[in-house]
Amino acid sequence: MAERGSNQAPETGAFFQRDRQWHPPAFTPGYKSSVLRSPQKALLSFDNTISELTGPVFGHAMLGELDNDLIHNFAKAGESAIGERIIVHGRVLDERGKGVPGVLLEFWQANAGGRYRHKKDGYLAPLDANFGGCGRTIAGEDGFYAFRTVRPGPYPWPNGPNDWRPAHIHFSVFGQGFAQRLITQMYFEGDPLIWRCPIVGGISNTAAVEALIAALDMHATIPMDALAYKFDIVLRGRRSTLFENRPEGN
């Protein structure tokens, strides 16, 4: 079932601690639903054990031909989703700057009008009969990934009386250990809604917010077809095991 992403021996060092000042804290009252869903007691801290250092690996065999093409993976034959055609690409890296190969990325989003294909979404903007909104891919040897989609629209949500989410794509990323598991959201360069959003605003550091804003990448566009955005994702780095648990010396 498992398939290794490279020929190198797997790394087994513990992951760097998470910087929880950099991530949004659990309790961010501007984002109202966090109020009753945030733990209030301190987290239990410990160095990774094998339960956190290991994680599932998914083989390319699971992928369908259109899994990374949201313009077509839900569309009727010969048709395509409506909206701004874009390519999203980037690399999965770790905090040491090394590419993380072989990891599964999954993405989901609203359609060009800001409507999700989900029964709990009652927004009046219509569904697009040719757009589902989900996709996935597996990062290559150097951590590189890409998919094509339409740019999602902003949408209103019941938080404040007039709150609108910026255009965004949700990302789910596996690392090589389960402790690297991450879900985040990608935003688009220049969107003025980013700095008004209470979900984004849960992140207190401006540079951390900027790390979630994809840049327009004209070099990756396909003329007369699609624009492109570049979005790199950074997972926790890990220590070397060279000097660990060897009191007798290496």
Query: Which is the catalytic residue, given 31, 155, 187, 229?
Result: 155
Alpha-carbon distance values, 53 to 6, 105, 142, 189 (Å): 18, 19, 21, 34
Q: How far apart are CA 179 and CA 129, in angstroms?
A: 38
d(CA 142, CA 133) in angstroms, rounded, equals: 26
Task: Choose the catalytic residue: 91, 148, 165, 236.
Answer: 165
Answer for the pair 153, 111: CB distance below 8 angstroms, yes or no. yes
Q: Which of residues 92-131 bind another protein (CB under 8 A)?
A: 93-97, 106-109, 116-121
Respond yes or no: is residue 89 known to be catalytic: no
Stretch binding another protein (CB under 8 A), from 79-87, 138-146, 219-227, 229-237: 229-237
**CB of residue 250 vs another protein: minimum separation in angstroms?**
17
User: What is the spatial distance between Cα 14 and Cα 240, in angstroms, rounded to a whole number?
Assistant: 8
For residue 239, state whether it binds another protein (rule: CB under 8 A): no
How many CA atoms does the CB half-sphere of 50 hold within 13 Å?
A: 0
Residue length of the chain: 250
Task: Please select the residue that binds another protein; options are 113, 202, 217, 229, rule is CB under 8 A.
Answer: 202
Is 229:188 a contact under the CB 8 Å cutoff?
yes
Window 161 to 180, contacts with another protein (CB under 8 A):
170, 172, 176-179
Choosing from 162, 206, 245, 250, the residue that interacts with another protein (CB under 8 A) is 245
User: Which DSSP category does 142 fall into?
Assistant: T
Quick note: the x/- pattern for another protein over 28-67, rule CB under 8 A, is x--x-xxxxxxxxx-xxxxxxxxxxxxxxxx---x-x-xx
Interaction residues for another protein, span 75-94 (CB under 8 A): 93-94
Please give the size of the binding site for another protein, defined by CB under 8 A: 95
Q: How far apart are CA 81 and CA 142, in angstroms?
A: 30
Residue 116 annotated among the catalytic residues of the structure: yes
Which listed residue (18, 116, 151, 239) is catalytic?
116
DSSP lists the bridge partners of residue 77 as none
Catalytic residue numbers read 116, 155, 165, 168, 170
